[in-house]
Structure 1
């Protein structure tokens, strides 16, 4: 067990409270949460000794007001670097190397329908562009495509836009990020050029979802659904729509704080708290069979 002395505990909570107060996308809630952490510290609620248990308790408190699943104190079993965002990058690099860059399955199903699984996440684009391009180019000749996001836990919004760029014929406004200061927005568009061949914007497209699908994977499903490009098949997703940053506050602890919120250009809202609602609800285990049947029926018709 990774232990925390009393001398270590107070700086961890102080720094986590400061980061939330200064950066959380909703300032009014940020101040309340910072006060809550300080009050719980004074009450002795965090006197648990272990970093992993502390992370669990602090995360529960951080999510107690509005259930923001991106607002967390994360425990890392291996000590991580102190640089901003370094803890997350270090923890996911091994997953990238063991998942073929986040595209672990490409398969041609009966009837000319391709299956592309993107998991366990949409990795940073500077890592993932090459494997994503290779996989998307490979399925570009299929008559219909099923994108499996059932085991995808999130990732990079730039990688979302990169994947979408293979699934439209023209440049398309996908999403807009609104940042805490209220003065800066950042639009996300599909790219005018992609390496390799596009699947395009007219052939049948289906997205598989589960209760585990989260964050950037939800954005991919939501963007394609709201723009009328894809049919989502499966279960409602987890419901995390706020982009976040991470700061190391202890060699084994990372505070992750959402700094913005996503607004879809079609719906005017996002999937925070509600998840992406499937067009064809079914158990995640049955969704591939369902989507394949839908694709074959549409191709036959």
Structure 2
């Protein structure tokens, strides 16, 4: 699973924040830097994460006491939700023990250990011991599941009648580069995105799914749907972490598209990652763009449904 609104996972290298199976976190935080990507994404888009969780809180109401974070990853969603729901506890679910250990350490650093429980599980199959939840949060995680309908049935069963589920997704890798970033390689990022789209069609076919339709089919009434196109550029201004974020994401993308783009494009990517003058960590012309979607749905109050 992956959190939070970003994920660059395994061989599928779109980036998300903010949770999946064949799961995003099966490799753990390790040298591929996924945990750092998740944390950088949450840092850069902190205002968006705050606004999204505030919207969830507005719809879910004041009676939220138990939240389940599916694909909790490094905990960016968990901690944002704890801020929005000061009387709630969070059960953080992920398939990666490494990610959950990192989340537990972060909870201790924030002095919220008493409000966080971690569960290692494949949420696509079951949520052991979890029922009666007031809110389920699934950020950039559900599209990894082999059977979204089965996963939503699991979520339905984990919610109390009247409880809510929030599904946050993104449209693939964020964009960072000016079109002419490498001489003679105009359109480099577009070609990488095309290659990743083909890869995702093979490995994560539910990326870009209509979750509103799927939620409704699972007996969950959709109450809110929103798409937002995020953009951060030099006028923001961009923090130094933007270059690090771009570097980590593009490094993962470079590995994913090898054999799917030509050698000249791979060489061009290398110039953006090799620590030289063109390295994205040193550039002042990055523009971070990402499209994020949110659906909030409710289990009917009638317990028989």
Which TM bucket (shorter chain)?
A: under 0.3
Indicate the structure (1 or 2) with the bigger Cα radius of gyration: 1
TM superposition score normalised by structure 1: 0.25
TM superposition score normalised by structure 2: 0.25
